[in-house]
Amino acid sequence: MISDYMTHIRRRGLSRESQNSYRKILRGYIAAHPDPDAVTTSAIEGWLDDRKVGPRTRYHYASVIHGYHQWLLETGRAQTDPSALVVRPKLPRRLPRPARTVDLVEAIEHAPRRMRAWLCLGAYAGLRCMEIAGLRVDDVRLDHDPPILHLRTTKGSKDRVIPLADEVLAALVAYGIPAAGAVFPPLDVYGRPRKGHLGAHYVSEQISLYLHGRGINATAHQLRHWFGTEMYRRTLDLKLVADLMGHAEITTTSSYCALIPTEEAVEAVRTLRAEVQATSLAPIPPMPSARLPVER
């Protein structure tokens, strides 16, 4: 059953990372509930409870299971869909956490060539780790004016075009783009390219290890957050930023503007103190210094 469903998933064009995630979840689920007509809604919810995961992971698990049962129903392999009534958790809105610019500059300046290319692709092009791992030589269009990245290995398998920033171009040239194939092939113990491809998890882990090794409290995805935040700060154009980041929904992009108050908001907050000062009988003490007191 899993084999047939995974064939269906592949035909839908889901990425390799998504396919692996679906397979792992369904193997555990089907091992516990092999008969789709015998499983109940409460049994599915009990299985999800036993996973002891956070709301976002639980939501993903429930979605995968629901897609599986829908496929069973639509193909006549089951008579009912017990997953339809499974309660999915409400997902809180999460604001992006961009890496600090000073940390980004320090990290790129001291990074080895391969790592520097990864950092620049994340920060100056907004690439996800899976997109860095899957980047191919023919995705880097140096013959285009201006040079661009034409991404094909993306979340949702949607092509995306990103202008190539000077920092990314310099990092890729210094790294040395191969003649063909993957831009970042796996390396053997001697640092020589070998067959296969990198995984998103590997790229994410290596970037995090490098950053933490330099005392920088940031992750690979926070480089992408920095890109999105800075692009919106400079353009104030949500549609443009959504296109550059490859967001399917512009509501996802809107979270980046929440970190950047408008001029009207800044001015309105500043007037609060003047309003209180004008009506107060006693003078308001001066604003405290932002510097922390020194312990003695």
pTM of the model: 0.70
Beta bridge partners of 160: 151
End-to-end CA distance of the chain: 68
The verdict on residue 262 lying in a domain is no
Residues 132 and 25 in one domain: no
Q: Which of 85, 120, 145 is the last residue of a domain?
A: 85
The percent of the chain in helix, strand and coil, each rounded to the nearest 5, is 55, 5, 40
Using an 8 Å Cβ cutoff, are 126 and 227 in contact? yes
Q: Verify cis geometry, omega within 30 degrees of 0, for the bond prior to 36.
A: no
Q: Considering only CA atoms, which of 156, 157, 153 is closest in space to residue 121?
A: 153
What are the tens digits of pLDDT across the range 243-291?
A: 998 887 787 788 777 776 666 667 777 777 676 667 655 555 555 554 5
Domain count, the chain: 2
What are the tens digits of pLDDT across the range 125-154?
A: 999 999 999 999 999 999 888 899 998 876
* pLDDT higher than 50, residue 105: yes
Q: What's at 197, amino acid-wise?
A: H
Residues 211 and 134 in one domain: yes
Domain extent at residue 171: 101-257
Residues 183 and 129 in one domain: yes
